[in-house]
Amino acid sequence: MKLQQIFIKNLKKFRKMRGLSQMRLAQQCETSGNYIGEIEIARRIPSFEKIEKIAAALYIQPFQLFMDDQDQIGPEKVTIKDYLLDLPYKVKEEIADRFIASSRVCFIESLDAQQYESKE
């Protein structure tokens, strides 16, 4: 299989795994709505910069877009720690921000529940 075909197949696979439409992925990559579609039908070839943006939006490493199925790293071969360490800094920052916000909400809800229980 040609490298471009592998890239297209993996792009579609990872995009669908993340539940993203072509339009939503394009928005996350700061590009036009038709761009991802044109890549997926082999009308356009993305630059290295766009490949990095696409990979970051898909929460994968850029090289994974070029790996054939037998070369793909399965979840049994990668620890969560290794996966997180390999993510781009912006993605790590977003994950941390979401975790902190979620933790704050859970903490406040638990305080509210304790106060409610103590009033009864």
d(CA 21, CA 47): 21
In the chain, where the domains are located: 3-68
d(CA 76, CA 78): 6
Residues in contact with 103: Cβ distance below 8 Å, sequence separation at least 6, in sequence order: none
Each residue's pLDDT tens digit, 59-113: 999 999 998 876 555 545 556 666 677 778 888 888 888 888 888 888 887 877 6
Main-chain dihedrals φ then ψ at residue 67, nearest 5 degrees: -90, 135
Global confidence as pTM: 0.59
Residue pair 58/39 in contact (Cβ under 8 Å)? The answer is no
Each residue's pLDDT tens digit, 37-72: 999 999 999 999 999 999 999 999 999 999 887 655
Domain 3-68 has CATH 3.30.1860.10: no
Largest CA distance in the chain: 69
- Residue 8 is predicted with a pLDDT of 95
d(CA 63, CA 102): 31
